[in-house]
Amino acid sequence: MRVLLAEDDPILGDGLQAGLRQLGFQVDWVRDGLAATRELAGGAYAAAVLDLGLPLRDGLDVLRATRSRNINTPVLVLTARDAVPDRITGLNLGADDYVVKPVDLHELAARLRSLVRRANGQSQGILHCGAVSLDPSARQVLHDGRAVALSLREFDLLHALMLHPGRVMSREQLEQQLYSWGYEVDSNAVEVHIHHLRRKLYPGLIQTVRGVGYIMPKEVIA
């Protein structure tokens, strides 16, 4: 799951980026409001963590500009501003969650996963498709109740498809969810991961829509 982190404090930003990566997130970190606005406009993120006290453009202005463009990326506001009016303002401008610093890293990760679930119409923490179940918090996949070992990229790709059952996702969309900045992506990387998932789970789990992308059918028969 790829998330945007907008935080100007170098120590906190570095800690959050490293910690979230250890918990399985792909994290791009920006340090000012203009960069946050630009990146959110690209629409490549499953969610964003937004500090309000950003230089160049305040976090509330970032939020206002983002929602005015009908960009619906889930946004978690993480800030030291703990007054009730500040919380109300942030939520009214379109924030999906509001957390006051300091925050426990595991709680932050759980809140992000919850935001992404809700944004994609998923009510339960564990995703199911046919005989396959995926637990994002434990990063565990079961097939007919048996644990299946997946690589980091295989898990993230399966997670992205299971969040959008019945929706075709292009190779480019999947790459955006699998890789943060600085990674050299092989042209056939997604195809290789799909091949491995079909082999480790079962061939009919992920279907190819020729010339368009890949889809996880809403109803899958193992």
User: What CATH number does residue 211 fall under?
Assistant: 1.10.10.10
Residues 52 and 90 sit within 8 Å (Cβ to Cβ):
yes
Q: What is the chain's mean pLDDT, rounded?
A: 90
pLDDT of residue 3: 95
137: in domain: yes
Could you read off the pLDDT of 141-177 as tens digits, one per residue?
Answer: 999 999 999 999 999 999 999 988 889 999 988 988 8
Q: Cα separation of 101 and 81, whole Å?
A: 8
Are residues 77 and 154 located together in one domain of the fold? no
Q: What's the first-to-final CA gap in the chain, in angstroms?
A: 26
Which residue in this structure is represented by tokens 């999947």?
Answer: 174
Please report which helix (H) or strand (E) contains residue 199, including its range: helix 189-200
- The tokens for 48 are 């964003």
Question: How many DSSP H helices and E strands does the chain contain?
Answer: 8, 11
221: in domain: no
Could you read off the pLDDT of 69-103 as tens digits, one per residue?
Answer: 999 999 999 988 878 888 888 899 999 999 999 88
208: in domain: yes
193: in domain: yes
Final residue belonging to a domain, choices 119, 142, 174: 119
Name the amino acid, one letter, at 100: V
Beta-bridge mates of residue 129: 132
Domain that holds residue 61: 2-119
Final residue belonging to a domain, choices 59, 87, 119: 119
Are residues 65 and 100 located together in one domain of the fold? yes
Q: How confident is the model at residue 1 (pLDDT cuts 50, 70, 90)?
A: confident
Q: Cα separation of 180 and 174, whole Å?
A: 12
Question: Taking 90 as the threshold, does the pLDDT of residue 68 lie above it?
Answer: yes
Q: Cα separation of 40 and 50, whole Å?
A: 11
Are residues 68 and 86 located together in one domain of the fold? yes
pLDDT: is 136 or 82 the higher one? 136
Taking alpha carbons only, the member of 25, 43, 62, 3 closest to residue 152 is: 25
Taking alpha carbons only, the member of 8, 11, 17, 16 closest to residue 36 is: 8
Question: Taking 90 as the threshold, does the pLDDT of residue 105 lie above it?
Answer: yes
Which residue in this structure is represented by tokens 């406009």?
Answer: 41
Q: How many domains does the chain have?
A: 2
Name the amino acid, one letter, at 1: M
90: in domain: yes
